[in-house]
Structure 1
C-alpha cells in the first residue's frame, strides 16, 4: 500500500472504510444501492434525452433542466459504482490517482451543479418578473453561454484545490473514513501542515455555495414580490408552480452540502458527514427526476407527451 521513500513512506493507494458497522449486509446493500443508482440514472437520462430529441422542449427551462440531469448522472457515477464494488466484492482499496480523479469529478460536477442551480433561478426570475422580455433575454445562445460559464468558473477553482491537496505529503495512515474520496477526508489523512489547505477548501466551498445561494435568494425574493402582486389566486399558483420543485431540490442540495463542506476544520465530524453525503450522492439525485417531473405539471406533461410520441 505504500512505497519506501527516504525516512518515511508515501501512500500509493487508499482504503475506503465505507460503512464498517453494516458491512456484513454487503449483498443486501449492493442490491439497494444498485437499484437506487439505476433508478437515478434512468430518471435523469430520460429527462435529458427527451429534452434533446423533442424540438418542442428546446426552451431555456428544459435546456437547463436537461443539463442539470446530465450533471446529476455524472455526479453519482463518480461515487456509486465504487461503493457497489465495496459492498459486493469487499474491495475497498483505490489507487492514489483514481482517488484524486474521483474527488475532482465529484467536486467539479457538484460545484458546476450549484452554479447551474443559480442560473435556473435567474431563468425563473426573468420568466416571471420580465415575462415580456423573456424570449429576447433568455434565448438558446444565452443559455449555452450561461452553462459554459458555470463550467468555466468551476473548473479552475476545483482543479487548483484538488491539485494542491494532491501535492500534500501522505505518509500514512491510508484509511479514508468515508465511502468515497472527498477533499475533507483526504486533507485529514495528510501528514503535512494542512491549515492553509483547509482554509482554501473552506473558502472555495463558501464561495461556491454563497454565490449560488445569494443569486437564488435575490431571484426568488423578486419572484415572490411579483407573484404576490398578481390579481388572482389561479395566476399566482400557475406562476409559482415551476418554482416549487426547484425550491425543494435547492433545500436538499444546500442542506447536505453546507453540513459537509462549510466548516473550516475538516478533522471534525467526518463520521456524521457520511450520512449527509449519502443524501447528497444517492437520495437527492434519485428524488430530483421525481420532483421535477411529477410535482411540476409544466415539466411533467410535455415530457409525457414526448414519451408518447417516441413510442408511436
Structure 2
C-alpha cells in the first residue's frame, strides 16, 4: 500500500465540509443524550431500546444485496462485522454512558475519548501504510495536552462527584473504538456501509437486551423524557453520526475523520454547560483551545490534491 498523507485539503468540496460539521454535531449529541436520563434510568435500559429501534429501522439493509443477501456472507465476513459492532458500539457506548452516569462531565468524557486519533495515527503508519508528518504529530501532541488540562479542570471542580477511577472508564471506550477501527480494515470484511451498520446495531441490540433482561432493566419507564432521549440517540447519535462518519471515511480516510474528534469536546462542553449547568472554567477553555489547535494542525493539509483519498471498501471504520 502506498503512503498517503492525512488531512482534509483546504479546497475540499462543500459537501465534505458539511459532512464534517454534521459528524461533529451528531457525535457530540451522543454524550449530551446519554445524560438526559442518566439520573433516573438504567444505562442498560436506554441502550437496549436505542439499539433495538435502530436495528429494526436498518433491518431491510441486511437484504439490500438481493434475496438472502446476508446468507451469502462467509463466516469470516459475518463474524468480522459482529466483532466490529461489539467493539465500536457495545463496548464504546457502554463505557461512555457509564462514565457520565458516574458523574464525569459530558465534555470531559468527550475529550478523553477524543485522544483516539493519537492512537490511530501512531498505529496507522506500520499497519495501514499511511504517512504522518512532523506537523501532524505536533498537532496530536497538542490534543493530548488539551485532554490532560480539561480532565484536571473537571477533577478539581468543587461540584465534581465522580470518583477518580471513573475517568479511566471512557478511556476503555476509546480503546474499544480504536480496536474496531483496525479490525474493520481486515481483508475478510467486505460489505456496504448500510449493511455493516445494520449488523453492528443488531449485535449491540442482542447484547444489551440480554444484559437488560438479566438485570431486570428491560422495561422502559413511561415518561416522555425517556423516549425523547431514545429518539435523540437514534436519530442523531446513531443514524446521523454513522452516516456522516462512513461518508467521510470514503472521502478523506480514517485518520483525517478521527482527527475531527478533537472538535467534539468543545461542542459537547457548550451543550453540557447550557443544558446541564456543567462547569465551564478558564482552565477548561484553555484545554479546549489546545484541542482546537490540534484539530487545525492535524486536519487541514497544506497542499491540495486532485482527488480525495477513498477507501477501497465501504466498511472501513466504525462509529458509535
Report if TM-score (shorter chain) is over 0.5. no
- Structure with more strand by fraction: 1
- Structure with more helix by fraction: 1
Higher relative contact order (CA 8 A, sep 6+): 2
| Alignment TM-score, normalising by the size of structure 1 | 0.28
Larger C-alpha radius of gyration, 1 or 2?
1
